[in-house]
Amino acid sequence: MKTLFFVGIFVVINITPSLSCDKYPKLTESLTQSLLTSARKFELLAELNKGKALHEEAHNNGDMTKMTQSLTILNAIKAQIGE
């Protein structure tokens, strides 16, 4: 039973971050089409690029701290553009 529990946790940890990988291009498109000022879009795109870099680095190194940081950035930007 413990083994099954740990397998379930492992699957959730390893699959959940990869589900967000496809969200970066979609969010970039939504951000560029948003009604925000050009200056604000530029700031958020820079932040989004930072988050994407963290996300890729997290995948490459298996670093869940960086993964969490990247997802936090992603979610903050989504909230600012109403997604």
pLDDT digits (tens, 9 = 90+) for 18-76: 545 778 888 888 888 888 899 999 999 999 999 999 999 998 999 999 999 999 999 99
State the pLDDT at residue 9: 43
User: Would you place residue 1 in the very low, low, confident or very high pLDDT band (cuts 50, 70, 90)?
Assistant: low
Distance CA 60, CA 70 (A): 13
Cβ proximity of 60 and 37 under 8 Å: no
- In contact, 77 and 47? CB cutoff 8 Å: yes
Is the pTM for the entire model greater than 0.85? no
How far lies 65's CA from each of 42, 70, 78, in Å?
Answer: 26, 9, 20
pLDDT computed for residue 68 by the predictor = 92
* Residues 62, 14 contacting (CB under 8 angstroms): no
16, 21, 26, 28: CA torsion to nearest 10: 120
pLDDT, residue 57, reads: 92
Asked if the model's pLDDT at residue 83 lies above 80, the reply is no
